[in-house]
Amino acid sequence: MVKRLIKSKFFKLMLEPLENRTVPVAGVLFVPANPATIPTGLNPDWIDTGDVNDDGRLDVVVANFSSSNVSVFLGNGDGTYQSPLTFPVSANPSSLLVTDLNDDCKLDIVTSSFSANNICALLNTGLNGASTVSFSAPILSAAGNGIKAIAPYDSNGDGSTDLVIANSGSNNISLIISNKNGTFGNERTFAVGTAPVALAVGDINNDGTADVVVANSGSNNISVLVRNEDPGCIFERQAIYDVGTNPSSLALGDVNRDSFLDVVVTNRDSNNVSLLLGNGNGTFKAQSTLSVGISPTSVAIGDLNGDAFLDFVVANSGSDNISIFLGNGNGTFASQINYKSQFGPAFVKLANVNGPNAFMADILIADLTSNDVRILLNSEPTASNISFITIASGASSGAAFTIQPVLSVLDAFGNSIPGYTAPVTMTVSAGATIVGTATVNAVAGVATFANVGISGLAGTPYTLTFSSGSLAPATQVIIPTVGAPTQLTLSVNAAGGLTRSGFSAQPGSVITFTDYWFPGSTNGESFPTQPVVLIKDSGGNTITTSNALVTLTASSGATLNGNTVVSAIAGKATFTNVGVNGLAGTQYTLTYSSPGLASVTQTIGNGINGTGSGGIGGPNSRINSSTVFAVGPGSSPNSYSTPNFKVYNSASTSPSTPIASINAYSSQFTGGVVTAMGDINHDGYIDLIVGAGEGGGPHIKVYSGTDFSTLLYNFFAFETNFSGGVTVASADINGDYYDDIIVGAGVGGGPRVIAFSGQNLNVLQDFFAFESDFTGGTHIATGLINSDGIYDIVVGAGAGGGPRVKTFDGSNLNVINDFFAFETSFTGGVYVSAGNFGGGTMDRIVVGAGSGGAPFVRLFDQNGAMLQNFLAYASNFTGGVRVATGLTSSTASSADIITGPGIGATPNLRSYNSQGQLTQLDFLAFNQAFSGGIFVGGRGF
């Protein structure tokens, strides 16, 4: 039997036990058509589909072995069919193909005769769009010997349907060339194994031409015939691979998503299937086997559950059932699911029979002994409830959860609903408020929250409820901890024994209150009741670890006496002798403030009502170039390290001695650590951003620059199961004076870049830097590349593509420049950075060559014009060079280029000026024996 290549589609196939009832299993749901079967001739053994009357509806054509005819079922477009039209063909049709044989844009029928050793063509004589169809009398072409299977094969590139034929009686395959009139020319034969019974056509060596794979039932192997383009040649000499006993059918498909075709073979007498993974060069790995039912006769490949991984279906004629294997996308499969079919299933076909608007393929089974075809329609399950994939945790009051909730939409049987895209909303019980984005749209039935959290009293349990429409909600209990300080509140107002309203201020809010002089007090005296100010988070929890300075000021016309600056103790600032000098009967505003926190005010005066407001303190300023830089270890199969990053200060007396050294992740993780620098929380200290290298999840951590050990953020930038690593950068791309966190996907994912707000982790930008099917990863940087004053994003292509560099405007993602940093034939990837080298307000782009070439570093202006080119390491080193920028001495006024070698060299960190001359830094960042490469991160703009 022959199977043409079925390409992976992003639609769902859902399957159902082959009986007259609806049963969902393992995320697939199948409903029999009504009627469930359509009658055929005697012993149907092959099915193909196509729109033979060109009315926009899929029709079914069946080869009937014992009655020597074909049954044509014209589709109604809803999974039902008209009564069969029967057309005679040559004796004992063993296979069938629906195709255009004479180039008239009508689908014809061609069958193979097992006993008469010929090919039979029925040319379509009907009218396109008609309610019926007609065919010519059989047109016979001699070919073959005990033909078991045919497949289309355009051997001469003319677009016509030539045929390859499996000849079980002569131990070979035939190639016959179409005459474009329903007849075929003389056959040409090619030796294969003993008793070939099935074949498949596909490009197994990725050269753009079709090859042939043949199942040989008598020699228990498969033959691989690779196309030979030499004049007079068709195929290379066959290659043989062992499979099971009596192979009966086969199909081609990329089951492990490596872009190479693999082959699945049914073995009739060993009751299993053989899986041979392709190497992409015309060869296959040795078989692995999976048990199925008794006497498997047919296999079909497709995506059965909408996860974009190829699955396969096997018809077991001896045990009257079919076996379903759901793929994991890596060449392995979940345990088989068996479904009963009581009448000797001989052939299985996947097709969408109920209309173009039905996004799921259906399954057709040729029942050999009951003389019919069974039609099984895919049906999407009904959403019933919401369930957790990941519960929220890490609830610091006022901040996003460190682990964000992820929920799946399920049916009543616990199966996921990939087609569900409605919003899912999180609410919280009384006493707490939500921060961040509380509503997200489900994608393929999964709702992934990104920056949600709550503000509430520390130690108090709150209930989170996740709901969507009428679905049964999911709930969890979460207990917040004390969060980061955000505000000041007045615990005791300045006054004495008076009535007033208590108040606190959030950023931008307005408060109203009344206050009075203490009776008998004198202008300029200390307040009889001294003010007490608390430092709190957004949930109202006092920050008992804070000893921040709180300053009291008065509005114009008044002066203060006493100590107006107090250091908080355990989050409480208590004034002792402060008072005000001013005009009697005049209202004044007292403001209590602390850098970075929302201030609070009160009005003091002679019985006068007043208002006050809160707002974020701190200057509108950014940290520019810094002498602080960081180094993380790389990784290779031969040399790897614990995830230990190191922080250095080139302005110190010993620039090669780290000022901090910490394991960013578990010591068991050896995939490397990437680094970047930025003032994420806008406190005036340069913070450290780290990301996990290849092999770990897309795990991002941000460490405070105050000590490089306090975590500010801890989150996953992409899906948690992505293990290709990340690259990181930082700059303020939205103009709020908080440096933002830019993350690029590593190897294996699309070239995706996400920018997260440094203020609250909101997603600012989410885009593909290059073509979406490029999987070599991205290298990213930031800098002022154009003149709008907003930092921009620089992206370099990873290994596998050309050395392409693109710069995107940070505010709107417009492309600023797009150029190749090295020769276009170089595919080792390109590392990027940016820095200000003392030449105006705009930064320059720095690139380093990836692995495979000499360790060149190049400097480009904002238009992509090369300014400098030099070797950072020995010219014979080909492991690549990673780049960053930063100040490399306390007296530097211009950034330098900081380099780290890739895999294969000692971990020698160096610095160069913009002319390519070595400057202060030249030392080993890790042990001399370590050769896994190093990643560098700095701040040179």
| Cβ 899 vs Cβ 923: under 8 Å | no
Top-level class of domain 385-478: mainly beta
Give the model's pLDDT for residue 749. Answer: 83
Per-residue pLDDT band for 604 (boundaries 50, 70, 90) equals: confident
Q: Where are the beta strands (DSSP E) in 259-306?
A: 262-267, 272-276, 288-291, 296-302
Q: Which of 382 and 679 is assigned the larger pLDDT?
A: 679
- Of 313-317, 369-373, 524-528, 816-820, give the lowest mean pLDDT range: 524-528
| Cβ 392 vs Cβ 400: under 8 Å | no
The three-state (H, E, C) secondary structure of 704-761, written as one string: CCCCCCCEEEEEECCCCCCCCCEEEEEECCCCCCCCEEEEEECCCCCCEEEEECCCCC
The total of other beta-carbon atoms located within 10 Å of residue 654's CB is: 10
Quick: pLDDT tens for 918-935: 999 999 999 999 999 999
**Torsion, CA 478, CA 479, CA 485, CA 489, rounded to 10:** 110
Query: Among residues of the chain, what percentage have pLDDT more than 90?
Result: 71
Task: Specify the length of the chain in residues.
Answer: 941
Give the model's pLDDT for residue 914. Answer: 94
For residue 136, give the amino acid letter. Answer: S
Which residues are CB-neighbours of 569 under 8 A, at least 6 positions away? 547
| Cβ 492 vs Cβ 529: under 8 Å | yes
- Name the phi and psi angles at 718, rounded to 5: -130, -170
DSSP H helical segments within 9-156, as ranges?
none
Per-residue pLDDT band for 326 (boundaries 50, 70, 90) equals: confident
DSSP structure string for 403-438: B--EEEEE-TTS-B-TT---EEEEEE-TT-EEES--
Give the model's pLDDT for residue 616. Answer: 26
In this model, does residue 599 exceed pLDDT 90?
Answer: yes
Q: Which of 491 and 213 is assigned the larger pLDDT?
A: 213
Structure-block tokens of residue 700 = 């991002």
Q: Which of 611 and 412 is assigned the larger pLDDT?
A: 412
| Cβ 886 vs Cβ 940: under 8 Å | yes
In this model, does residue 508 exceed pLDDT 60?
Answer: no
Best CA proximity match to 461, nearest among 499, 509, 484, 429:
429
Superfamily of domain 628-937: Fucose-specific lectin (2.120.10.70)
| Cβ 238 vs Cβ 225: under 8 Å | yes
In this model, does residue 359 exceed pLDDT 80?
Answer: no
Query: Among residues of the chain, what percentage have pLDDT more than 70?
Result: 90
Counts of helices then strands in the chain (DSSP H, E): 0, 73
What is the C-alpha radius of gyration for the chain, rounded to an integer number of angstroms? 36
- DSSP code at position 504: B
Quick: pLDDT tens for 456-468: 999 999 999 999 9
- Distance, CA of 424 to CA of 449 (rounded, Å): 9
Give the model's pLDDT for residue 360. Answer: 66
Structure-block tokens of residue 486 = 């955000």
pTM: 0.48
Q: Which of 782 and 413 is assigned the larger pLDDT?
A: 782
297-322 as b/e, with b when 16 or more CB fall inside 10 Å? bbbbbbbbbbbebbbbbbbbbebbbb
581-603 as b/e, with b when 16 or more CB fall inside 10 Å? ebeeeebbbbbbbbebbbbbbbb
In this model, does residue 906 exceed pLDDT 80?
Answer: yes
Whole-number average pLDDT of the chain: 88
For residue 758, give the amino acid letter. Answer: G
Give the model's pLDDT for residue 303. Answer: 83
If you average pLDDT over residues 419-433, what whole number do you get?
A: 93
Per-residue pLDDT band for 501 (boundaries 50, 70, 90) equals: very low
For residue 518, give the amino acid letter. Answer: F
In this model, does residue 816 exceed pLDDT 90?
Answer: yes
- Of 15-19, 492-496, 817-821, give the lowest mean pLDDT range: 15-19
Element of type H or E holding 611:
strand 606-613
- Distance, CA of 203 to CA of 222 (rounded, Å): 16
Structure-block tokens of residue 779 = 């290298």
- Distance, CA of 916 to CA of 937 (rounded, Å): 19
In this model, does residue 385 exceed pLDDT 60?
Answer: yes
In this model, does residue 340 exceed pLDDT 80?
Answer: no
Best CA proximity match to 614, nearest among 595, 600, 597, 593:
600
If you average pLDDT over residues 207-212, what whole number do you get?
A: 94
Best CA proximity match to 2, nearest among 276, 252, 305:
252
Quick: pLDDT tens for 125-135: 999 989 999 99
In this model, does residue 808 exceed pLDDT 80?
Answer: yes
In this model, does residue 295 exceed pLDDT 70?
Answer: yes
Top-level class of domain 30-378: mainly beta
- Name the phi and psi angles at 791, rounded to 5: -65, 145
- Distance, CA of 93 to CA of 435 (rounded, Å): 69
Whether the domain at 385-478 and the domain at 487-613 fall into the same CATH topology: yes
| Cβ 434 vs Cβ 440: under 8 Å | no
In this model, does residue 307 exceed pLDDT 90?
Answer: no
Quick: pLDDT tens for 738-775: 999 999 999 998 999 999 999 999 999 999 999 999 99
Structure-block tokens of residue 89 = 């063909």
Structure-block tokens of residue 641 = 């390290």
Give the model's pLDDT for residue 525. Answer: 66
Which numeric CATH code is attached to 487-613? 2.60.40.10
In this model, does residue 379 exceed pLDDT 80?
Answer: no
Quick: pLDDT tens for 827-883: 999 999 999 997 677 899 999 999 999 999 999 999 999 999 999 999 999 999 999
Give the model's pLDDT for residue 5. Answer: 35
In this model, does residue 605 exceed pLDDT 90?
Answer: no
For the chain, how long is the longest CA-to-CA vector?
Answer: 124
If you average pLDDT over residues 560-569, what whole number do you get?
A: 91
In this model, does residue 358 exceed pLDDT 70?
Answer: no
Structure-block tokens of residue 301 = 């490949």
Per-residue pLDDT band for 30 (boundaries 50, 70, 90) equals: low
- Where do we find the tokens 């009543």? 412
DSSP structure string for 682-702: SSSS-EEEEEE-TTS--EEEE
Residue spans per domain, the chain: 30-378, 385-478, 487-613, 628-937
Give the model's pLDDT for residue 903. Answer: 96
Give the model's pLDDT for residue 697. Answer: 87
Quick: pLDDT tens for 760-770: 999 999 999 99
- Distance, CA of 429 to CA of 425 (rounded, Å): 13
Structure-block tokens of residue 109 = 């029928």
